[in-house]
Structure formats: C-alpha cells, structure tokens
Amino acid sequence: GAGVSQSPSNKVTEKGKDVELRCDPISGHTALYWYRQSLGQGLEFLIYFQGNSAPDKSGLPSDRFSAERTGGSVSTLTIQRTQQEDSAVYLCASSSNLGTGTDTQYFGPGTRLTVL
C-alpha cells in the first residue's frame, strides 16, 4: 500500500507569512507524529496524535505552531508568522500503535520549508 505522503515537498515563504504543511498517514495507522529536522541536526519531536485522544503538544516550540488531525487521518501543521529560524525539513510519521511495543514509525519524505 501507499506510504506516508507529505505536501508540499518544498515551500519557500517570506518572513511573517503563515504556512500549512500536510501529512497523509498510512491507511489504518492511528498514531501520527510531526518532527522538525534543521540542517545537519537530528529530529526534534513536535506533536503526537493517537486516535481520538488529546494530542501530545509538548514539543511545539511556540504558540505560532499548531496542528490538527481531521477524521483521525490527514494532519495539517500550521506555522503562523513564520521566522527564519523555522526553516527546516518537517517530517511526518505514522504508526499502527497496536500497543505491541514495536510501534515502528514510518516516515514521509518531508517538507522542506525555507523562510526568507
């Protein structure tokens, strides 16, 4: 089946503009994660959704960042009033979260955001 997809693949925006990044998880996966990867760095956890439970937003760096997941499937990460330090690759991952312990996360190709 299809893997995790993200759109757009690249986004260039001007400082101060709002952007929306989209993630389509693997069909049937109940868990969805957003991460940020700055150039040459590891992954920084942003937010986690699991089914209908309240999301874990503990990684969001500021109140300019928000995310939602509609119908337990597609998720949108919104960054308001973008700043140059927001420039990074934003990665989405999904997992089946069957509670087996493995819960392997499968990643999308990412969205490369450049804030000018």
Partner 1 sequence: AQKITQTQPGMFVQEKEAVTLDCTYDTSDPSYGLFWYKQPSSGEMIFLIYQGSYDQQNATEGRYSLNFQKARKSANLVISASQLGDSAMYFCAMRGNTGGFKTIFGAGTRLFVKA
User: Sheet holding 5-7: strands in order across?
Assistant: 5-7, 19-24, 75-79, 65-69
The count of residues interacting with partner 1 (CB under 8 A) is: 26
Pairing of strands 19-24, 75-79: antiparallel
Closer of 19 and 91 to partner 1 (Cβ):
91
Q: Does residue 89 belong to the site contacting partner 1 (CB under 8 A)?
A: yes
CB-count exposure of residue 107 (10 Å: 0-12, 13-18, 19+): middle
Q: Indicate which single residue of 27, 52, 84, 104 sits in contact with partner 1 (rule: CB under 8 A).
A: 104
Q: Does residue 102 belong to the site contacting partner 1 (CB under 8 A)?
A: yes
Stretch that binds partner 1, among 10-18, 27-35, 68-76, 78-86 (CB under 8 A): 27-35
Q: Using alpha carbons, select from 2, 85, 78, 90 the residue that is nearest to residue 45.
A: 90
Structure tokens at 34: 């957003």
In order of 7, 82, 115, the CA distances from 85 in angstroms are: 20, 8, 8
Q: Does residue 58 belong to the site contacting partner 1 (CB under 8 A)?
A: yes
> Which residues from 29-48 bind partner 1, rule CB under 8 A?
31, 33, 35, 41-45, 48
Q: Does residue 91 belong to the site contacting partner 1 (CB under 8 A)?
A: yes
Residue numbers at the binding site for partner 1 (CB under 8 A): 31, 33, 35, 41-45, 48, 50, 56, 58-59, 89, 91, 93, 97, 101-107, 109-110
